[in-house]
Structure 1
């Protein structure tokens, strides 16, 4: 069976636009969690976030698309353009039916939706944009990317919160291994508007601390919740044989995946994160000794942190594998967070360094990579974990054993 490999990366993150800018900032430990600037958060219990502050939409998106797209879709379109450019693939050399788009979204286009509902309330139905009919929808990123790049093959969207970003990438792999030549995949969210923050506060997992240095503390005894962020990543996933035939740079292989769902609360049965990891390792043909680093879900919610830490100790042993959660610098980006971790995992394997987890003092028997500097390491496989609110678990193994270069 052919392998599905990543040949292009497109990133929009609070600490960098483009994969290399994001990578450099993360290695520096650049923490960008600050008070929200796009609106006044004074009346909200949670006031901090990881915002994308340097994205000038007029420089990245055709003017005709700006009024019909939410901020998350603008991010997704830009990231897709950058991923294709990074891969150096000539999409005109494929039939449109050979190329697909699979993305994830946790919230849809909330900012545009809020604006148009305000217009409805204030001015009446004649003042509501027709673009509202699709711009708020979870699948709109997939649709807009596929239209822009004339990709008419398999398309879809996954809505499983943070886990969705991994599920989308895994499905892209499945499609490529099944014969689709190329798939654009990943996740993107932008929920930093009053409507979006209200919904997140209602979920009960946001930290209400106002000190950026003590607000998002996964695996720490002082953990009180997470901080929201915005952005994500789009990846080009290709058939390895085709990629090598055009002498493409290959970041790594999507080697294995597992997804599970937790039992209902109160059932007395344990969560199923461990099973997701075991399935992913089996799918990749690897065991725990082959994993050189784990990019953690890092919920920042004490019961969820405890479950993740205990599973890692059970599988790898106490302090048995380096664990990192660079999302402490930028917040949890929901469907965009896990694809960003996949980007970091691929670049970590490429450069032999693990980006750090800032700010935390771990209280579990796991080897968290701490401080503001990366840790050198050797290895060819990384495990990325993501969970979604309501019980979703997803684990993805990436490997550079078949790494090539352009």
Structure 2
């Protein structure tokens, strides 16, 4: 079995585009999906803007019987998976059901579904609560629903590590493909926490931006950074072994998932340094790549000065001061939790394909002491063969993943 695991299909649900093509066109045009929230009145909340997905009609993308059974996050995952399978030219009915695995990441569960059922419980009584509440709220629901929908009976699991979890899911899929336990892996991450209950659950972390101006609310690595903007959506990718993809005549191979490492930050007060640089070096070593060979780093970009400084220092430690282009596509989506890493991987694959690094939206004043080369103001054309994606999860999770041209 070859060690080379490649991406053959992608499906995207993002605040600035439905489908990979629309998302990437908007990203190159610096067309942001961050706006004042519209799905409920946010006036009483400290955060009133977010990366909201507009124009997604569940009935157009999800079988009718599943619409009342599923939360918005699962509807996103079902739609994105259909698009990824179509993109990869895969008909699951032609495959052995035990050769298809589903490994997804989720950080928030089905918040909105749960909120609605709690409202019914208190206003109408327990007899009005949907039986589907028993699983629609759960972190693993996307993996379960995708497995049922596509008859996938191979290895299936879920990763829960906030924003880092999306990269962890891709790495887990790569591991099972290398072992030969599955032939096709449906993987990636989705989250949809933009409802009153979901937003309320995020307020205690103290990291949300309180700016009500969509253009100034999320400014990672900027002198005016004041927190992050929450978003919804993510990406589903189809992974398979390279030789198998070529043998079946895959319509396209976007790139290779070449390296990955995770680390965990020590507890505050221990005096031990953050572990992000260790994850980055480990991912490069796993990919057999030297720092000088990396063309672009897609940053985690927390939007909090203290955390931005930690990430900037890790990038400097590994690559040297201003030695590599740093890209921040999520300035146009907000932080998508488990969906953020896989969506950044899609951006990396598109960068490799087209040889262009999109400019960060609204970021204009990067402090000199960060000593990193953030691509801003305008997109940058350059040959791109290797991209490092960084993701950090609340609580100390770090993940780094390397994507290479094939």
Distance in 2, matches of 1:186 and 1:112, equals 21
Whether 2:309 is the aligned partner of 1:306: answer yes
Whether 2:151 is the aligned partner of 1:116: answer no
Distance in 2, matches of 1:134 and 1:106, equals 15
Whether 2:399 is the aligned partner of 1:394: answer yes
Whether 2:155 is the aligned partner of 1:154: answer yes
TM-score, reference length from structure 2: 0.97
| Aligned-pair CA distance for 1:7 | 0.1
In the TM superposition, what are the counterparts of 1:124-273 in structure 2 within 5 Å? 124-179=125-180, 180-248=182-250, 249-273=252-276
Contact 1:293 1:321 in 2 (8 A): yes
CA offsets, 1:303-347, max 9 Å, x none? Answer: 110000011111111110000111111100000011100000011
CA offsets, 1:45-91, max 9 Å, x none? Answer: 11000100110111101110000000000000000000000000232
Distance in 2, matches of 1:271 and 1:38, equals 38
Instruction: Name which of 370, 374, 385 aligns with 1:368.
Output: 374
Contact 1:309 1:366 in 2 (8 A): yes
2:80 is matched with which residue? 79
| Aligned-pair CA distance for 1:377 | 1.1
Instruction: Name which of 264, 275, 278 aligns with 1:275.
Output: 278
Contact 1:2 1:241 in 2 (8 A): no
Distance in 2, matches of 1:343 and 1:375, equals 18
Runs of at least 5 residues in structure 2 that lack an aligned partner in the other structure: none
Distance in 2, matches of 1:27 and 1:206, equals 26
Helix, strand or coil at the partner of 2:371: coil
CA offsets, 1:200-242, max 9 Å, x none? Answer: 1111110101112211111112111000010000000011111
| Aligned-pair CA distance for 1:106 | 0.5
Q: CA RMSD in A?
A: 0.8
Distance in 1, matches of 2:243 and 2:100, equals 16
Contact 2:109 2:138 in 1 (8 A): yes
Contact 1:263 1:391 in 2 (8 A): yes
Helix, strand or coil at the partner of 2:115: helix
TM-score, reference length from structure 1: 0.97
CA offsets, 1:360-384, max 9 Å, x none? Answer: 121121000002x421111311000
Distance in 2, matches of 1:292 and 1:349, equals 9
Helix, strand or coil at the partner of 1:225: coil
Distance in 1, matches of 2:27 and 2:384, equals 20
1:4 is matched with which residue? 5
Contact 2:351 2:384 in 1 (8 A): no
Distance in 1, matches of 2:101 and 2:331, equals 32
Distance in 1, matches of 2:347 and 2:339, equals 13
CA offsets, 1:129-166, max 9 Å, x none? Answer: 00000000000000000111111000000110000000
| Aligned-pair CA distance for 1:348 | 0.3
Whether 2:374 is the aligned partner of 1:380: answer no
Helix, strand or coil at the partner of 1:73: helix
Contact 1:294 1:385 in 2 (8 A): yes
The runs of at least 4 consecutive aligned structure 1 residues that moved more than 4 Å come to: none
Distance in 2, matches of 1:234 and 1:92, equals 19
Contact 2:33 2:53 in 1 (8 A): no
Contact 1:80 1:184 in 2 (8 A): yes
| Aligned-pair CA distance for 1:94 | 1.8
Helix, strand or coil at the partner of 2:101: strand
| Aligned-pair CA distance for 1:32 | 2.1
